Structure 1
Amino acid sequence: MSIILGSTLIVMLMASKPMFRNHLFICGCAFLLAGLTQKKELPWLLYVQLSLVYFGAATNKIFEPDWWSGQFMHNWLVNSQENQFYLSVSALMPEMLFAKILSWSSMLIEFSIAILLLFRKKHLLAVWMIILFHAILYTMTLFRFGHFFEDIVIILLIFLIWPKFKSEVYINRNVHLFYRPLVRLYFLNSDIEYEHNQVNTDSYWLKVKSGNRVLFDRSALIFLLKFTPNFYLSLFLFDQLIRFVFNGTIMHGIQISLMWFCILFFLPINFGRKSTKKIVLDAS
């Protein structure tokens, strides 16, 4: 089905120049390459595709004098977008300096991402660079380039190594009965159990066992959300709801707030809470 859908999109776009959109073409390639990927192997075809996307983007800019001079960025943000953030910041700097900073940093970041994606040990760094790069760009410009932003976020799921077995989830038994069916409905791919939480310095409100790992509190919740399909479906539906109910600055403000909340929550940073632990169990 992925091969058929991807091929259909590619042929449709190649057959009609007015219909061609980069973000749609990327979707077609992603579907086609996903269909050609073996289930038990790493999706290297998709890794290479994503690398080519950023390498192509950087290459297109490197050979354009307007990008080196900052003229393209200046014309886009001033004449096309009338971006107030750019106008305010650039007014405090020498002429075209802010435009050059944005142009050069974009080329450098895109080229760096393209290289990092080719090395498996650098995938985590590349993923966070992609997320932060597009988040900052969207926050500054209020522009998502069609649905390119969503395409990239969805494709990034290829870097998750999904658990082979259901996760065991332990929640404090004092959780209100009203929330228990909601928890079970949301985390369908996990086995939920409720237990009495020990009252001591090492107490926790959430514990997750997955394979030989035991996660607590925030780390446990992050693990559950990352490997719960309903979480990504919820983000998509909420984004569509915001688009349907609001428009203009209010819509972008809500979407950007939600985006940065998720980014800060999922950042791999330990905030120093004693109840957040990770324990690796012995094979025995």
Structure 2
Amino acid sequence: MADLSTLTIGTRGSPLALAQARETQTRLADSLGWTLEQLPLKLIKTTGDTIQDRALSEAGGKGLFTKELDTELLDGRIDLAVHSSKDLPTVLPDGIVIAGYFPREDVRDAFISRRAKTLRDLPQGAVVGTASLRRQAQVLRLRPDLKVTLLRGNVETRLAKLDRGEVDATLLAMAGLRRLGLTDHVTAILDTDDFLPAVGQGAIAVAVRDKDERVKAALRPVLDPKTGYALAAERAFLSVLDGSCRTPIAGHARLEGAELVLHGLVLRPDGSDSLVVTRRGAPSDAEALGREAGLDLKARMPAGFLNV
């Protein structure tokens, strides 16, 4: 990498996005023997950051958090883009690929409330705030008496709204809370057996230009193959189901010994019904395993299943 004096890292400007970009900076600096100044951050405001008055599902879905970074990457103004994996669309623009992922953080969701110790303990009719249809559907599956309302904004904004009493509870990713040093706000951690995470939750993805072999080589030593297998299965699963912010889909894959195990879930938006699937196989067959799981659920899904 001696012929590269700098690598510019593109990131959104939210506190969590910056924490993930700085982790990328540190990992690369340690691996390459570079200074942080050789790995400058470029903050890029995305369409998703500017929309706060409605759910992203009503505005276009996951690509709202990535398209401006994609443009900067394709135009050569940044060398790599750092993303929360769960924000990535299943289909990337031509010329962009995911180089890989860093070791995955905690995949679970956290329950946060000032009124109850667990989701099950919330009083009847309590208001849960979330911007995620997946979380909405799983909340209503467990507690159909609760009211779920839109809660947008970064992690700190959502916590502030909770403190002001705008909602009785919210759900946030444990990974984000850990990266921001905010785990002291957690009331309870939701077990994945009861509350399956979003595809990609907890994993930082790094996107690069498809033909930029120098940047790929710089990243290769710091990327995690185990997380790569899990995400390959999860994203293939999501792709078959045409997953977006408009669809309540959950999925989680992990290595258990030498075997990759994928659990998948699709729900009606009102939580009144759900379908589950489990697949096991060799890590090398991750994408095929994910596709098979998605096709299984698709074949069992009644017409109109995703309509409330």
TM-score range, shorter chain: under 0.3
Instruction: Name the TM-score, length of structure 1 as normaliser.
Output: 0.28
Instruction: Name the TM-score, length of structure 2 as normaliser.
Output: 0.26
Richer in helix (by share): 1
Richer in strand (by share): 2
